[in-house]
Structure 1
Amino acid sequence: MAKARSPQYPAIGLKEAIERATEVYNNDYQNPIPRSVAAAHMGYQSLNGKSLGVLSAVLKYGLLEGRGDQTRVSDLAVSIIAHPPGSGERVGSLREAASNPELFAELDARFQGGKASDQALRSYLLTQKFIPTAADAAIRSYRETKQLLEAESSGYDIADIASSPVSAPSGEEVSRSILVAQPTLPNVPTTPIVAGTSGRQAVTISWVGEKGVSESSIAIKDDRLELAALLYDQAGVQKVIDRLSAMKALLPEKTPDAKEEAAD
């Protein structure tokens, strides 16, 4: 009787795949090397089932490339390694790597970016000829990859964006939006949402939490900040607090005509 085999999927999440590619890069940069040498850089003594599975996963994310026995670190991997966590360049490269595995792209398309329970994902994978253990492993890698994207995407500094120049015709006010990942929540994928604001220069932050869409808009006009928020959980409140703290330096310590509040 033939042994049951599951469709191909990355055996590890994107975070570990980046760590493995970094180990190869630190030893051989982007030089073409045999797969056995790449496996040795990753800490494996030989090419076996475990090391071949890891090599295959790193290839599926596009972090290694090559044909036959030769492989090298890809430009995509270098872009991730070279840029600091949370930077726009790194986040963009992470998103590309996360969508490279065919299975992950398929799950994103079928379940709106992975917005589904593990049970729903597992049921679908079983209908696609995955054996149960492989389905569980694929879901684990998929979730770990999503969590990495959420963590890195939430690293944007709103103060940097708020202070950056905005081009607009003379005499016109502008609006702009920033995408921020949701807080890291179990089995809740990132669903960025753009919410525009008109009539002033503003930064709008939106994310999906467990109970609904949390949104805050911080408008910058002349010498004041105007805040509007719709929050569903403590994580949403903390998001607003963090961003207000980052933008506090944009205002004077005290307005010239401010009156001291009488002590109770």
Structure 2
Amino acid sequence: MKPLKVLRSPRYPVISLPEAIDRVAKVYAADHRNKIPKALVAEHMGYQGLNGKSLGIISAIAKYGLLEGGVNSMWVTPLAVDILERESSDPERLQALRTAAGNVELYNDIDEQFSGKVSDQAIRSYLITKRSFLPESAERLIRSYRETKELVEGLPREGEPSFNEPEPGTMAPDTSAPVLSANLHPDWSKVTVVPPEAVFGAGQRRAVFDLSEGEVVITYPADLSPESVSDLQDYLAVFMKKARREAGIR
């Protein structure tokens, strides 16, 4: 009697590029570019250690070129640092994002197979019939592909203003939100909140920190979970490293 053959889909990134950036940011915030055990990489991302799920996430991040290494150790790549540390409109950051998306061969195959707009059904059929994907895996890949393409296609082209940095005079000042006064401190760790944060849109809140150079505005969901608060703390740690460096604080 022949042994049963286990059907598996080809290797593919189980998360999108935006998700991969979020995950690698946690590793970078905790250990910068140090070479660390793969199990510690998983722990920095919130997992209890190496298992099927954490290994899949690590593999996906590596496919985008944001992590490298092997069984014994892994580290954050220069490509990831360009994405995490450079200004949002920096041409080198924009190119790094495009490079990361282009590192996934399956995404390139889909782009070559279908020129222009294509339905999820057509991609699904191609993955299952031509690339031997299982239906569930095809659905996951399509979701990751779509989210990655949405990010890259939303990037400004050379010479265009970044959507994160509108041209001067194109946005009216917001006078509706209360201002939170802040003590100007090298690490911004001491912020005095005057009134509560303003409700901003359905289910959103806005915090405005008034610094001598201008306002720092944070918009966030009103019902953050404990896990999301922890994630936000990690992202802000990366931001503060960048802000301190740009301000010349060592």
Question: TM-score band (shorter)?
Answer: 0.5 to 0.7
| Identity %, equivalent residues | 48
Distance in 1 separating the partners of 2:167 and 2:20: 31
Amino acid in structure 1 at the alignment position of 2:49: S
Distance in 1 separating the partners of 2:16 and 2:57: 10
Q: CA RMSD in A?
A: 2.4
Q: Does 1:121 align with 2:156?
A: no
Distance in 1 separating the partners of 2:160 and 2:78: 26
Distance in 2 separating the partners of 1:3 and 1:144: 30
Q: Which has the larger radius of gyration?
A: 1
Aligned residue among 38, 55, 60 for 2:58: 55
Q: 2:198: which partner in 1?
A: none
SS at match of 1:153: coil
Q: 2:91, 2:158 within 8 Å by CA — same for their partners in 1? A: no
Distance in 2 separating the partners of 1:85 and 1:115: 27
Deviations 1:26-74 (A, max 9, x none): 1111111111000000000111111011000000000000122211000
Q: 1:13, 1:145 within 8 Å by CA — same for their partners in 2? A: yes
Which 5+ residue runs of structure 2 have no aligned equivalent? 171-250
Amino acid in structure 2 at the alignment position of 1:123: S
TM-score by length of 2: 0.61
Deviations 1:176-223 (A, max 9, x none): xxxx9xxxxxxxxxxxxxxxxxxxxxxxxxxxxxxxxxxxxxxxxxxx
Aligned residue among 68, 71, 95 for 2:71: 68
Deviations 1:50-103 (A, max 9, x none): 101100000000000012221100000000001122332211000000010111
* Shift in alpha-carbon separation, 1:41–1:244, aligned structure 2, 3 A: closer
Which 5+ residue runs of structure 1 have no aligned equivalent? 161-179, 181-241, 247-264
Q: 2:154: which partner in 1?
A: 151
Q: 1:37: which partner in 2?
A: 40
Q: 2:247: which partner in 1?
A: none
The Cα of 1:154 is off from its aligned counterpart by: 7.0
Residue pairs, 1:96-135, within 5 angstroms: 96-112=99-115, 115-127=117-129, 128-135=131-138
Distance in 2 separating the partners of 1:43 and 1:29: 16
Amino acid in structure 2 at the alignment position of 1:141: S
Distance in 2 separating the partners of 1:2 and 1:101: 27
Q: Does 1:142 align with 2:142?
A: no
Aligned residue among 20, 35, 40 for 1:17: 20
The Cα of 1:2 is off from its aligned counterpart by: 2.1
Higher relative contact order, chain-length normalized (CA < 8 Å, sep 6+): 2
Distance in 2 separating the partners of 1:6 and 1:42: 25
